[in-house]
Amino acid sequence: MRRAKTKRIAMWVFLITAIAGMIAVGCAPPSDGNGNGPTPTEEPQYGGIIRGSVTTDPTGFDDGIAAHYATGSLHLTNEDVWTGEWAKGYAGGYGTDESPWVLASANRLEYKTGALAETVEWTPDLTTITLHIRPGVYWHDKFPTDGRELTAEDVAYSLERQYTSPDAYMYKNYPDACATTTISVVDNTVVLELGDPMEFMNVMTMLDFMCIYPKDALELFGDFTDWRDSIGTGAFILDDYVYGDSLTYVRNDNYWKKNPVGPGEGDQLPYVDEVVTYIVPDVSTQDTLLMTGGIDVLTIFDYERAQAMINTVPELEYTKHFDEGQLAIFFRTDMPDKPYSDERVRWALALAIDNQEILDTVYGGEGLLLNWPIGDFIEYKDAYVPLEELEDVDIEVLPGEFISIADLYGYNLDLAQRLLDAAGYPDGFQDRIVYYNDPTGNFGAQVTMIQAMWADIGVEVELVPKTYNDMATLLYFRTSEDIMASYYSGVGTYMKAINYCTDSMWNISWVDDPECNAAREEMLLAYPDEAAIDAIHKDLMPYLLGKCYAIGLPEGYSYRFWWPWVRNFNGEFSIGYYNVTDYQQYIWIDQDMKEDMGY
């Protein structure tokens, strides 16, 4: 049955205006200092609604024809072969806390567990992967599947489509794997035969990325462009979508998964009746919705917005953490007629950036100076090199003159000017910086500061803002000759080195360095031994960072806020590799607390 149309955002704005004053007069009871008002219960409750917001509409509801990360809350409705293991995180205080699950692309084998495949096996030579399809999983009770059981044929058909459809992410990004892999069904298993074992890493990663769809529905509809055709095995069913307004998901009463840990261990998931996602392009409206209880959870990337939220509504719970999608400066190092083929120019540009000033101005002095090609995340701590470990690693930047690699993240205008002089640019040069004008972040503020700093050494740059889609197009087709101030590939790809190797869209500086290429080959050969890969990656970092192929800019904290009635939640974002929103199946709403707090 189709549900009633979700309230319009215009109505939300009216309600916000009517109740905004309630914050100042304290409609909620005093906090206990941890963001809690009334004493919570520990026993999970069924019922209630989770409300959140995004800034844009989804591009579709089918990752077979659109990029997975642009399809909105796809993992509410559809599932992967395997996924992240909730109990390896905080899990409401009852997990092992090995991963906070705050990254979109946490991608370590040790944290994965079976999803639609009960188990995933592979041969020692990495040429065969066998997926044992989980029994007792049922499609949503919608035409044409009508709640039938998931089959191995469904899984094989979905994977085959990803391997052969020109618009599929797998086909576009991993053509060699697609060309050399065969997929077959044997009883209730799906068998992938890899013609090239070097593609094992790519295939394994994508199995926790590509959603599975019902074969009969795909044959009937062709794709799931129309939201009304959306069918999955996930915890929620897409029940209503109003473009520019909201998406509404209702509980799947025949969901297969149980709560694995805590007071609710063994409970059928999900707990809530509905998930509502409002489409709110204006971030200040998002903030007001959270402040007034109109939404329950919100991520804020901007330091000043986050501080305002903390100071205005102390009842809110929050976590702060380093995130992916941070900003770095990339150059066309492959073009001899560009200044950036000379590492002295790259060093000069790095030394002319006052990173501490950026950190102080944009992030309130809180953050990290070294975050490219990966940041300081608990899951990848053994692959990361802290800045202090680079203080004793020297590079000769001018004849007889040495600096440490750590100095590249400092500020030395005099040396920057002398390096430009030595490279043949005593008066500087002109160029453009194309950058992603992120409405939820502060990329614009950072590149504006860099523009002013580089002017001090005669490097005059024009700033060219781009939308997400325009920036993604430039990266994908690799058509720009300008300096790029861009996000880069998530940390889950660190073992493939695609931020600085191959013709990947993420090798934005067009690096082709034999030493980097050799390290990449070592990591590919070492997989799935992730400890060995971490060691190889860490050993490469001093060399890579010393070459200054890219300038990673300071990284501030991201903040995730939620009301204390949102239980079994600690700021999680993605349980596995780009399984964003998947955490919502574990959340429950303390409805008595919410009522006691006046909402």
Angle between helices 283-291 and 9-19 (to 10 degrees): 50
Q: With H, G, I as helix, E, B as strand and everything else as coil, classify residue 123.
A: coil
pLDDT, mean of residues 483-501: 93
- Angstrom CA distances, 275 to 134, 257, 478, stand at 26, 17, 38
Cβ atoms of 90 and 572 closer than 8 Å = yes
Q: Give the single-character DSSP code of 551.
A: E
> Please, what is the end-to-end C-alpha distance for the chain in angstroms?
29
Cα–Cα distance, 204 to 53 (Å, whole number) = 31
Distance from chain centroid for Cα 49: 24
Q: Is the pLDDT confidence value at 70 over 70?
A: no
- Tokens found for residue 570: 């600690």
φ/ψ of 243, rounded to 5, equals -55, 135
Question: Per-domain residue ranges for the chain?
Answer: 9-321+560-596, 328-552
Dist CA 178 CA 319 (whole Å):
40
| Model confidence at 4: pLDDT above 60 | no
Write the single-letter amino acid at 218: L
Instruction: Concatenate the DSSP letters of all residues of 98-114 into one string.
Output: S----STB---GGGEEE
3-state secondary structure at position 359: helix
Q: Which residue has the tokens 């300008």?
A: 482
For 9-321+560-596, which CATH superfamily applies?
Periplasmic binding protein-like II (3.40.190.10)
Confidence of residue 24 (pLDDT cuts 50, 70, 90): very low
Kindly report the backbone phi and psi dihedral angles of residue 440, in degrees, each rounded to the nearest multiple of 5, phi listed first: -100, -5
Helix crossing, 443-455 with 355-363: angle to 10°? 150
Q: What is the mean pLDDT of residues 402-424?
A: 97
Q: Where are the beta strands (DSSP E) in 8-152?
A: 49-54, 82-84, 112-114, 117-122, 128-133
Q: Which helix (H) or strand (E) holds 220?
A: helix 215-221
- What does the radius of gyration of the chain's CA atoms come to, in whole angstroms? 25
572: three-class secondary structure by DSSP: coil
- Residue 468 confidence (pLDDT): 82
Q: Is 300 helix (H, G, I), strand (E, B) or coil?
A: strand
Report, as an integer, the average pLDDT of 11-20. Answer: 40
Over range 575-598, report the average pLDDT: 94
Q: Report how far residue 383's alpha carbon sits from residue 374's, in angstroms, rounded to the nearest whole number.
A: 8
Task: Give the integer Cα–Cα distance in Å for 403 and 96.
Answer: 42
Q: Give tens-digit pLDDT for 299-355.
A: 998 999 999 999 999 999 999 999 887 899 999 999 999 999 999 999 999 999 999
Q: pTM for the whole thing?
A: 0.89
Q: What is the pLDDT of residue 68?
A: 63
Which tens digit of pLDDT belongs to each residue from 349-377? 999 999 999 999 999 999 999 999 999 99
H-helix or E-strand containing 15? helix 9-19
Residue 7 has pLDDT above 70, yes or no: no
Beta-carbon contacts of 1 under 8 Å, excluding residues fewer than 6 positions away, are none
In whole angstroms, give the CA distance from residue 317 to residue 313: 9
Backbone angles phi, psi at 191, to 5 degrees: -115, 125
Query: In terms of Cα–Cα distance, which of 255, 81, 62 is closest to 152?
Result: 81
Give the list of residues 6+ apart from residue 595 with CB closer than 8 angstroms, or none: none
User: One-letter amino acid identity for 294?
Assistant: G
Mean pLDDT on 511-524: 96
Mean pLDDT computed over every residue of the chain: 91
Q: How far apart are CA 210 and CA 295, in angstroms?
A: 29
Q: What is the pLDDT of residue 41?
A: 65
CATH architecture of the domain formed by 328-552: Roll (3.10)
- Segment 341-347 long-range contacts (CB within 8 Å, at least 24 positions apart): 342/423, 343/547, 343/548, 344/397, 344/398, 344/419, 344/420, 344/422, 344/423, 345/419, 345/420, 345/423, 345/425, 346/547, 346/548, 346/549, 346/551, 347/397, 347/408, 347/416, 347/419, 347/548
Q: How far apart are CA 110 and CA 126, in angstroms?
A: 17
User: Cis ω on the peptide bond leading into residue 144 (within 30° of 0)?
Assistant: yes
